[in-house]
Structure 1
């Protein structure tokens, strides 16, 4: 996170409108070629005049003050600089102000959260397809005419990708015509998430190109312009939107796992997918954990961008709190990955306890990849490592688009 923030800050300063000296940009670039990481606090920024406090800690570390990490080990910043063979930065007044007066931490955290949520969103499309195939559901809810009539671009695109994954599937004929909403409405839910993520994409792209500083210098006409480019409202809004999308996707994964472990709804598979019903617990611990994950995501999803409080002697009388929104979304994205991994482990276990072999090549390939990395739960064992392995696997797969 710290290095991502410094990369964003380096690009902003390198565009030339901040008036910093060239050695500062060169020094930042040299730092990025090493494993040096400034130790910066998580809390303290209101995202209004940029990420003042976190970036101040970062620049102090680059000057040899405070603390930093090198190869993952925390130490005094001066020692880390020496070990990395970096020269401490020397700053004039403009250099120091330009470095801290921007939204680089907020932008970096939002971009990293977006990347993670997008990977989980793709994974959930594939996992939903595998669930459909294993249970023998009819895929008519993905009919292209149906989704075209719905009219939302995200849903149309998601359904198209899911149809490709499910190509060749054969319904069992034993399921209800109208499946529960976590299956039947999945293209509408995942499609709404896709539309929201496309908006977040655009704002993050603009932020990454942005010069978030004040004042700015324009040599072509000799002007020095004071304003508010350091005000992180765009990122605050989209980080809050990302939190809502994460909550929605997490809830879908948890509901699908709940369906899968319930013998009243899973086509007669054993409770909790236990290989030895009444003797083993199967997915029980994982399912309990997913309930906790969803509760934590919901607790954290309250919008940060509406929490404005005046500060700085009322100079900063409105503040966006984008930094809090972005860091919170980053944390929530990690929980969403675990929810995807939990569902993936459940789907792999379902085939061990009686679910049919997938009938579509796309779903069969996904199941085989999971089975190669995740052994059956028989007998019971701790599953935290398996959940993380499954999460890494399903979120690393390339996009279907």
Structure 2
């Protein structure tokens, strides 16, 4: 896959993340890269003071560096900034980090050599992935610590995985037939300044949230049928009168999913309920608002993926100017609104689960959806698990972007906290996959208990896929394996993949 700086789409980034496709930077970007490099080399040769080329960094920017020490300066920068802690980032995220860094450098504003680009290309092609600890960035002045670990592997320091084996970086490069690079003026700073780790984590969270969200529409429709809920609130005119695009899309999807349900048709004339609970009736309003947030975050992250975010930057007139594109506030905000969407998607799904297991609310289904309640507890504690996960996600949804603390001797006195704000999305989406998976189990059980009435053809297909891995609950059994299997079906998109729902990504 060719990565074209400034023009990469979310679809391309999904493929890089999920499919491990081979990637390389578009060759058309090389003239711009070479021109910026020539300008940096000229400044270094003439000896004029320019930040990051022949000065110290951060609070030490006023310290001039002698020409003979410029290469040592870049190496020391990388080694001193390798202060990450925690578990290594998963391989798909590390690949995405490197792809995003290639895109940023490819904008021709960073002043690196084509040889550095070629090494990153080769590392991705030959399965050499730096060991990048997950913690240590505050999301300003770039993701300094994690990106330093990436850069360290490129100079033969630190550790890297080669085809899944963790090795000293020099050995990993050698096994792949690659040679460490010696950094020259500006290159170390270009590698560690930038928002690529925060952005990769936020994109991973977005992609996981999309699949959970997509499946939650399927399980929400299933829950509606299991509870013999009304489809009248999904009428298109209601949503056109409000005009919110996500709400309109979700209502359209729910109508498609519930079309030709015999369960619904069976009680149209005899149902004396005036209104359903909000968890059924307001699905378009709640899920639609979540969809709009996910779309908004996706637009922000697509822009950021194509951005030049290191410092200083070589501008089109040849000037080299210090700015602040490394500040990850847009990514922090995007991560926070993804977190809100994830928390709310799980919250309304949890209420549907609670409704389905409650004989006072589920319109004639047995308690806890067991054919023999009392002797059997059925899905009683599966619902409790959803409550625990929903509550955890509520706590995790607290905005990271509202926090800041001065760092680097007050030179970097406002930071975004984007990196851990994005990283927490991985835990939140894992929790959401379990909530939505449990809703699938409960809703499918409820629909089975409506026999001989049948659900819609589309929902019957989703239930058939569920039943390939999880049998109907007749008597109590060990449920944890079923819950895990359901979460995997959600996380992989297996329950929603057959459906072309309007205007949505999975």
CA offset at residue 136 of structure 1? 2.1
Q: Which runs of 5+ in 2 are unaligned?
A: 1-92
TM-score by length of 2: 0.75
Q: Which runs of 5+ in 1 are unaligned?
A: none
CA offset at residue 364 of structure 1? 2.0
Q: Distance in 1 between matches of 2:297 and 2:373?
A: 45
Match for residue 317 of structure 2? 221
Match for residue 323 of structure 1? 419
Query: Which has the higher relative contact order, 1 or 2, with Cα contacts under 8 A spaced 6 or more apart?
Result: 1
8 Å CA contact retained: 1:161, 1:400 = yes
Match for residue 338 of structure 2? 242
Deviates most, 155-164 or 173-182: 173-182
| Cα distance change on mapping 1:377 and 1:204 into 2, 3 Å | same
**2:150 matched to 1:58?**
yes
| Cα distance change on mapping 1:87 and 1:357 into 2, 3 Å | farther
**2:486 matched to 1:387?**
yes
* 2:133 partner SS: coil
8 Å CA contact retained: 2:436, 2:487 = no
* 1:394 partner SS: coil
Q: Distance in 2 between matches of 1:31 and 1:397?
A: 36
**2:501 matched to 1:400?**
yes
Match for residue 233 of structure 1? 329
Deviation string 1:264-286 (CA, Å, 9 cap, x unpaired) is 21222222222442233322332
Asked which structure has the greater CA Rg, the reply is 2
* 1:364 partner SS: helix
8 Å CA contact retained: 1:273, 1:282 = yes
8 Å CA contact retained: 1:125, 1:162 = yes
Of 127, 134, 155, the match for 2:247: 155
Match for residue 180 of structure 1? 277
Q: Distance in 1 between matches of 2:169 and 2:474?
A: 50
**Equivalent residues in 2 for 1:193-208, closer than 5 Å:** 193-208=290-305
**2:394 matched to 1:298?**
yes
Q: Distance in 1 between matches of 2:95 and 2:103?
A: 12
Deviation string 1:154-187 (CA, Å, 9 cap, x unpaired) is 1112111211222223342446220010001111
| Cα distance change on mapping 1:355 and 1:302 into 2, 3 Å | farther
Q: Distance in 2 between matches of 1:96 and 1:291?
A: 47
Match for residue 370 of structure 1? 466
Q: Distance in 1 between matches of 2:499 and 2:101?
A: 29
Match for residue 188 of structure 2? 96
* 2:336 partner SS: helix
Deviation string 1:41-89 (CA, Å, 9 cap, x unpaired) is 2211111101000000111123222222233333322232233333223
Deviates most, 269-278 or 300-309: 269-278
Deviates most, 47-56 or 258-267: 258-267
CA offset at residue 398 of structure 1? 5.2
| Cα distance change on mapping 1:356 and 1:196 into 2, 3 Å | farther
| Cα distance change on mapping 1:345 and 1:79 into 2, 3 Å | farther
Q: Distance in 2 between matches of 1:17 and 1:176?
A: 64
Match for residue 110 of structure 1? 202
8 Å CA contact retained: 1:269, 1:355 = no
Q: Distance in 2 between matches of 1:157 and 1:328?
A: 28
TM-score by length of 1: 0.94
Deviation string 1:291-328 (CA, Å, 9 cap, x unpaired) is 12111111111111110111111111111111121111
Q: Distance in 2 between matches of 1:377 and 1:86?
A: 55
**Alignment RMSD (CA, Å):** 1.9
CA offset at residue 365 of structure 1? 2.0
Deviation string 1:347-400 (CA, Å, 9 cap, x unpaired) is 222244446644422222222222233212344123233223432322545541
Q: Distance in 1 between matches of 2:274 and 2:204?
A: 40
**2:388 matched to 1:288?**
no
* 1:346 partner SS: helix
* 1:191 partner SS: helix
Q: Distance in 1 between matches of 2:500 and 2:125?
A: 30
| Cα distance change on mapping 1:75 and 1:273 into 2, 3 Å | farther
Deviates most, 44-53 or 171-180: 171-180
Q: Distance in 1 between matches of 2:173 and 2:329?
A: 34
Match for residue 135 of structure 1? 227
8 Å CA contact retained: 2:131, 2:159 = yes
Q: Distance in 2 between matches of 1:106 and 1:280?
A: 47
**2:377 matched to 1:278?**
no
CA offset at residue 258 of structure 1? 1.1
Q: Distance in 1 between matches of 2:275 and 2:486?
A: 30
